[in-house]
Structure 1
Amino acid sequence: MSDSTSYAASEALNDAIKAVTGDLTAAPATNQIDSWIGQLDLTGPGSQGEIALELKNLKDYISTNDSANIAHTLDALGQLTTKAADEDVAEDVSRKLRQLGQALTAASTSLPK
């Protein structure tokens, strides 16, 4: 991964961490989810495709205000994101993926299941 690609990924992950620690059910959150899906390589190696699928599920659950499934999907995203941190990525990106994974898992526990 080039330095500029690594920097862009790091900044996108910072934005994701901020979004996850905010109100995920707010209308801007669904726009952010679309942006995240657009940044993933859906056919690439690793867990990006699985993450994209869970993000699509999350968007659907937010639109129907299904808090139990939102919580479940956030937990799944937390696990997948933490797994992605162990894939072939730059160390700074790996560290931020772990932070995002922890934030997603924490967010999942704040909603009823």
Structure 2
Amino acid sequence: MYIFSVDITSWALFKKIVSNQNFRLKSLFLIINKCEMNIQAEKIELVKMLLDTENPKIIESIKKVFKKAKTSDFWEDLSVDQRKEIEKASLEIENGEITDYESFMQKHR
């Protein structure tokens, strides 16, 4: 998670920059890339731990976790209507049909 340190005099400028859609998309891309790198590092660490263990119970537990994860895709648990709503929302986002938080809140206050 990124935490920004901003003094009160530059808050308006900061808010303007953050509200810029390109800034949000670039930031999201950077966050996703950082998460992917962290995931890769975590996977390497797990492989090292797995290779170092001689405990069959740990190995069996890990197998169970993977088997359960493969069989439990939440998408399959959703109703047809829920799936359609998610797909519709994804298309709206791709088409730029989005509303920023402040505009949404102004309409609903």
User: Where is the helix percentage greater, Structure 1 or Structure 2?
Assistant: 2
Say which one has the larger Rg: 2
TM score, norm. by length of structure 2: 0.30
TM score, norm. by length of structure 1: 0.29
With a CA cutoff of 8 Å and minimum separation of 6, indicate the structure with the bigger relative contact order.
Answer: 1
